[in-house]
Amino acid sequence: MKRTTKPLSLSQQIKRKVSRSVVKRPGYDGDPTTMISTGSTLLDLAISGGRVRGGGVPAGILVEIFGPSGSGKTVLLSEMAGMIQRQDGEVMFYDPEARLNKQFARIFGLKTDEMKYSNPDTVPEVFAGARKWKPEGKGIHGIFADSLAALSTDMEMDKDEGDKMGMRRAKEFSEECRKTCRILAQNNYLMVCSNQIRRNIGGGDFAPKYKSPGGEAIGFYSSLRLRTSILNKIKSKKKFSGKEVSRIIGVQILVEVFKSSVWKPFQTAPLIILFDYGVDDIRTNLQFIKDFSKNTIYLIGRERLSKSLNESLQIVEKNGWEDILRDNVINLWEHIESKFESERKSKVR
């Protein structure tokens, strides 16, 4: 007679957690310790979930995050910069728009006094500085620029000469990317740049409606391009003096892997960003599990939480179940992805 084992309760899972070693599945060829998280489990998976369990952004590459204003680009840069510091890496942060302040950075655990911070004016200042940088830490080191659209050229800033044709910036991006990408790979640096989008006027019938400024070099040399877009504004309602008061407290965005040399392109991930919190990974993860199960209640494994998302979120935080929740999301995501694996044998070459 076969012996059946009783499933572990959530509390038992937690006791056996987090030191458990990760078991590589067939097809995995990446090392989880060399990946940097975006702060979102679903976005990490969309970027490289088929290469390494849990996914993330690998070092040694140039990444462009582009999209309209207010679509979470600076938040994603700050999340990754904070993650690098927590993994004993050093951070160089270029802020041409001079918008990053210490209070905002603290939301992401980003220690501004421990990173190299500057407000460059021109394209060469950013890339030449990255090539000359010699960090001393042992972790993965990161170079961040927010944003490329604010950078100028020496010619453009010269009030007498000027850049009358407006072509010099694109050429400088091309020159600097060509010289820098090899350095990133050789030193295993991660360089992440944000960029805005502009309406593509006069691009022809088949040209994209919008494009990121700075010419074609950034898109060409980037190993990973992420496009952000705003889906919804998130409102919170409270009672005050007998009246209902509402405030917009965040945004829901969609991130598309627009180009990838890391894994498959065109994967997408929803993110919730709260203005005073950052990426709300718990909320998105709870919703993901509920959306892809037959249950009408939020849960982790076999543990039922609540019908209310906010109550379920509080239960997770109170009990410290964030890692268990993330592990459940990864397992479910892998199960869904397995349905799309090719059934054909390997190509004869």
The pLDDT of residue 210 = 66
Evaluate whether 122 touches 152 at the Cβ level (below 8 Å): yes
228 pLDDT more than 50: yes
117 pLDDT more than 70: yes
Predicted confidence (pLDDT) per residue in 140-152, tens digit: 999 999 989 889 8
Torsional class of 289: left (φ above 0), alpha (ψ -120 to 50), beta (otherwise): alpha
The pLDDT of residue 200 = 64
The pLDDT of residue 280 = 96
The pLDDT of residue 307 = 93
Distance, CA of 225 to chain centre: 10
The dihedral formed by the CA atoms of 340, 229, 65 and 50, expressed in degrees to the nearest 10: -10
Name every residue whose Cβ is closer than 8 Å to that of residue 274 and which is 6 or more positions away in sequence: 234, 249, 250, 280
What mean pLDDT do residues 175-198 have?
Answer: 92
- Helix 322-338 vs helix 309-319: crossing angle, to nearest 10: 120
17 pLDDT more than 50: no
165 pLDDT more than 70: no
What mean pLDDT do residues 243-269 have?
Answer: 95
Distance CA 38, CA 56 (A): 7
18 pLDDT more than 90: no
23 pLDDT more than 70: no
Higher pLDDT, 277 or 7: 277
318 pLDDT more than 90: yes
Domain ranges of the chain: 1-27+280-338, 31-279
Strand ranges (E), the chain: 35-36, 57-58, 62-66, 91-94, 116-118, 142-145, 190-195, 198-199, 210-211, 224-240, 243-260, 268-274, 278-279, 298-300, 303-306
In the chain, count H helices and then E strands.
Answer: 11, 15
The pLDDT of residue 161 = 61
Residue 20 confidence class, pLDDT cut points 50, 70, 90: very low
CATH fold for the domain made of 31-279: Rossmann fold (3.40.50)
Distance CA 324, CA 210 (A): 40
**Tokens 């945004």 belong to residue:** 251
Predicted confidence (pLDDT) per residue in 264-298, tens digit: 999 999 999 999 899 999 999 999 999 998 888 99
Distance CA 288, CA 139 (A): 32
What mean pLDDT do residues 112-124 have?
Answer: 92
Least confident of 28-42, 50-64, 106-120: 28-42
Residue 163 confidence class, pLDDT cut points 50, 70, 90: low
Phi, psi of 200, rounded to the nearest 5 degrees:
-85, 95
Distance CA 172, CA 192 (A): 18
331 pLDDT more than 70: yes
pTM of the model: 0.88
What mean pLDDT do residues 156-171 have?
Answer: 65
Distance CA 60, CA 8 (A): 40
142 DSSP β-pair partners:
91, 190
Phi, psi of 184, rounded to the nearest 5 degrees:
-60, -45
